[in-house]
Every structure is written in C-alpha cells, then in structure tokens.
C-alpha cells in the first residue's frame, strides 16, 4: 500500500503525477477552516505533508497528524508552518532555497524600475488615450546611480545587490549581523532609511521581522523615497505604509506581498505611485518547476530514509 501524503496546496500537475507514483495523495479543500475535518479519515496514518509557502502547515493541522514526519514546503519562506511544534515533535521541515534567487531579485529590480519610472501608469496612459489627449506624461525619477538600501543580505539579497551594482547604484544594507559582502552594513535601520533613495526589503517573515518597516522607517525614507517589498507582508506596518503613500509622505512603493493575501488595501488601488503584484516573486514556469522538483526529492528522500536536500528544521 502506498504511504499517505496530505497535499495542502497542489504543485504543478507533472509533479503531482510524480508524487502519485509513490504516495496516496489526499488533497485538502481551499477553505482552511475545513482542513482538520478533511484529514480526519486518514489522519492516523499520515507521515508526509506537501504544501506551499503561502498555505504552510498550521498548528491545528499538524496536531491532527500524530505520525507526521515531514512538512515539505514549496517556497523558501517557512513562516506559515508551525515551526515550534515541528521542533518540539522532531518533524522535519524542508524548503526550496536558491533555485528562486534570480527570479525574486529580477522582480525586485522590476518593481524598483516600474515604481521610479511610473511604468504601470505609463501603460495606462497609452491604453486609455491620455497620450493622445494630453501629450507627454509627467517626468519620473531616475534609478541608475541612486543610493539603494537592502534590508536582508541573504541568498536573495546578494543577488539583488549584484543587479543593483550593474545599475551603478551605491549599495548599503541592514541585517542583524554583518554579511560577507563588499557593501556597507548599517546596524540602525532608520539611519539606513534616512540615507537611501530606494529601499528593497528581502528578509524572512515571522515574529522576528513583524513590523520591522514601521512608521519611523517609512517617515525616514521620506516623500521622495521608494519602498520595494518582496519579502512578506507582515514585515511592513501596512496601515502606516498606506497612510504615508496616500498623504505623500512616502514617494512610492512596489509591492509583491501583503499582510492578508490576496486582500490588498483598497486605498492602494487608487494610487498612481504604487505598483502592485500578486506575490509573483518566484512565479516563472522554470523556477516553479525547479521548486516543485525539490519538494518531490525531499519527500522521496524522507520515505527512503535518505538525507533531506534542504532541511530548515
Ligand atoms: P536568507 O538567505 O535566510 O536571508 C535572510 C536575510 O535576512 C539575512 O541576511 C538575515 O541576516 C536577514 N534577517 C533575518 N532576520 C532579520 C531581522 N530581524 N532584521 C534584519 N535582518 C534580518 O533568506 P532568502 O533565501 O534570501 O529569502 C528571504 C525571504 O524572502 C524568504 O524567507 C521569503 O519570506 C521571501 N521570499 C519572497 C518571495 C516572493 O515571491 N516575493 C520569494 C522567495 C522568498 P541576519 O540573520 O544577519 O539578520
Ligand atoms: C512562493 C515565496 O510563491 O519562496 C517563497 O518564500 O514566497 C514564493 O516563492 C510561495 O512560497 C508560494 O509557494
């Protein structure tokens, strides 16, 4: 008999077919409130959970699975998994680092360029006939040569920095510990915000970074400053961000992540100084394929008693 695997949110079809060769898959409904009830018929036997960074594996679902051995996450961020319970029960948690660095860094640069150069607005300007009616669009803000502050200088932050260097940007960064990089470390986040033109945020989510980009950091970026968030919505004080953008106390923002996805604050939808993306940092077919391959490989390694490829807990 195939071992039971709970699929919280499906991988691409090809990867689900691969998993089905080895595992008996039990897919959960989209409604989170029904997950515990949905696993009940198989809960006593389940040793494997496959999930995504967005859906994760909440504490009540983990508690409902007494024989759980592994939560294999498609995503590098594991903040939606109950990590404390995983540690306490010796449940392995795996993620998909590195294979997505290029795409997330590309998106961070794209959001930076789109926000500073008003490119989403430009597209609307042409499509709705404003170019013909009103002539040229108002002038935008130059990116090349500007001062960039990167919050988080891990796997993705370093790739962002390489791209920014090609735009002749002056790079400084904030982390808790200095990284082995040729850029200036700024231990005080507010001081970093005061001295840069653009800030890109790429730290993990979770309790340690909740509200890290607060009203004071946003105020320090100022009316010409641009904030780009490709990390987690929880890292930014979203009401403070919205208030600063609406009142013009922050120049602009490029946002791939939000506090309560897929809900985006209504006020942001009306703003031309904001570029919005639906959490697509890693969303290319190449990268999502590589991420799904890692999930499958980790689950098979666990089943066969091999070494997990990318274990975080
Ligand atoms: P990583 O290699 O673990 O790097 C994390 C960086 O954040 C490190 O430099 C770390 O340095 C810093 N950091 C952690 N906690 C901090 C804190 N409290 N204050 C300041 N800096 C802190 O992670 P990664 O692979 O680059 O990924 C980063 C995150 O990006 C993921 O966890 C995920 O949430 C997000 N992400 C988003 C997308 C998307 O689609 N938008 C895609 C992939 C990843 P110190 O430990 O020295 O502080
Ligand atoms: C995914 C991400 O879109 O890797 C991460 O942490 O946020 C993204 O790559 C997300 O995990 C959904 O699978």
Percent of the chain with pLDDT over 90: 100
- At residue 79, the 3 state secondary structure works out as coil
> Which pLDDT score is estimated for 214?
99
Q: How far apart are CA 156 and CA 100, in angstroms?
A: 8
Query: Does residue 49 contact residue 68 with C-beta atoms inside 8 Å?
Result: yes
pLDDT tens track for 239-263: 999 999 999 999 999 999 999 999 9
Q: Is 261 noted as a catalytic residue in this protein?
A: yes
Q: How far apart are CA 237 and CA 103, in angstroms?
A: 25
| CA 245–ligand 2 middle distance (angstroms) | 26
Q: Which residue's structure tokens are 């946003």?
A: 218
Query: Does residue 245 contact residue 219 with C-beta atoms inside 8 Å?
Result: no
> Which pLDDT score is estimated for 16?
98
Catalytic residue among 232, 238, 288, 300: 232
Alpha helix locations (H) across the chain?
Answer: 13-22, 35-39, 59-63, 83-89, 101-116, 119-127, 130-134, 155-166, 189-195, 215-221, 238-247, 266-269, 285-304
233 Cβ inside 6 Å of ligand 1: no
The ligand that comes nearest to the alpha carbon of residue 188 is 1
- At residue 276, the 3 state secondary structure works out as strand
> Which pLDDT score is estimated for 57?
98
> Which pLDDT score is estimated for 42?
97
DSSP annotation of 246 reads H
| CA 127–ligand 2 middle distance (angstroms) | 32
> Which pLDDT score is estimated for 220?
99
> Which pLDDT score is estimated for 306?
96
Percent of the chain with pLDDT over 70: 100
What would the two tokens of residue 147 be? 């001062």
Instruction: Give the residue-averaged pLDDT of 159-175.
Output: 99
Apex 74 CA angle, 70 and 75, nearest 5: 115
The whole-chain average pLDDT of the chain stands at 98
Mutate which of 15, 51, 53 for ligand 2? The one with the most ligand atoms within 8 Å of its CB, which is 53
> Which pLDDT score is estimated for 94?
99
Q: Is 89 noted as a catalytic residue in this protein?
A: no
> Which pLDDT score is estimated for 222?
98
> Which pLDDT score is estimated for 59?
98
Q: Which residue's structure tokens are 């091999």?
A: 306
204 Cβ inside 6 Å of ligand 1: yes
Which of 111, 98, 93 lies closest to 148 in space, CA to CA? Answer: 111
pLDDT tens track for 171-213: 999 999 999 999 999 999 999 999 999 999 999 999 999 999 9
Instruction: Give the residue-averaged pLDDT of 128-154.
Output: 98
pLDDT tens track for 27-84: 999 999 999 999 999 999 999 999 999 999 999 999 999 999 999 999 999 999 999 9
| Nearest-atom index, ligand 2, CA of 279 | 3
Instruction: Give the residue-averaged pLDDT of 1-5.
Output: 97
- At residue 177, the 3 state secondary structure works out as coil
Of the pLDDT bands very low, low, confident and very high (cuts 50, 70, 90), residue 128 is very high
Of the pLDDT bands very low, low, confident and very high (cuts 50, 70, 90), residue 98 is very high
| CA 216–ligand 1 middle distance (angstroms) | 21
Q: Which residue's structure tokens are 């679902």?
A: 61
Q: Is 174 noted as a catalytic residue in this protein?
A: no
> Which pLDDT score is estimated for 56?
98
Apex 105 CA angle, 293 and 264, nearest 5: 90
> Which pLDDT score is estimated for 131?
98
């Amino acid at each position: 008999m195939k071992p039971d695997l709970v699929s919280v949110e499906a991988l691409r079809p090809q990867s689900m077919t691969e998993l089905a060769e080895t595992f008996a898959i039990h897919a959960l409904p989209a409604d989170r409130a029904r997950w515990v009830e949905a696993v009940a018929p198989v809960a006593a036997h389940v040793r494997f959970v496959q999930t995504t960074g967005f859906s994760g594996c909440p504490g009540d679902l983990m508690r409902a699975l007494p024989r759980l051995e592994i939560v294999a996450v498609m995503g590098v961020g594991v903040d939606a998994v109950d990590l404390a319970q995983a540690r306490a029960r010796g449940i392995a948690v795996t993620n998909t680092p590195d294979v997505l660095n290029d795409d997330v860094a590309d998106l961070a640069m794209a959001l930076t360029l789109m926000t500073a150069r008003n490119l989403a607005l430009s597209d609307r300007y042409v499509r709705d006939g404003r170019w013909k009616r009103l002539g040229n669009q108002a002038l935008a803000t130059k990116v090349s040569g500007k001062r960039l502050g990167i919050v988080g200088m891990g796997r993705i932050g370093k790739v962002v920095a390489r791209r920014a260097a090609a735009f002749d940007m002056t790079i400084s960064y904030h982390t808790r510990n200095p990284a082995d990089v040729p850029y200036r470390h700024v231990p005080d986040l507010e001081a970093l915000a005061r001295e840069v033109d653009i800030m890109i945020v790429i730290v993990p989510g979770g309790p340690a970074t909740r509200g890290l980009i607060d009203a004071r950091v946003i105020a320090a970026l100022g009316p010409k400053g641009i904030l780009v968030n490709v990390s987690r919505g929880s890292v930014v004080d979203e009401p403070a961000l919205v208030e600063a953008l609406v009142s013009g106390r922050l120049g602009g923002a490029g946002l791939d992540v939000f506090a309560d996805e897929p809900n985006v604050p209504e006020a942001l939808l009306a703003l031309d100084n904001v570029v919005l993306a639906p959490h697509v940092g890693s969303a290319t077919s190449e990268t999502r394929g590589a991420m799904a391959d890692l999930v499958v490989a980790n689950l098979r390694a666990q089943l066969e008693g091999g070494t997990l490829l990318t274990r975080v807990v």
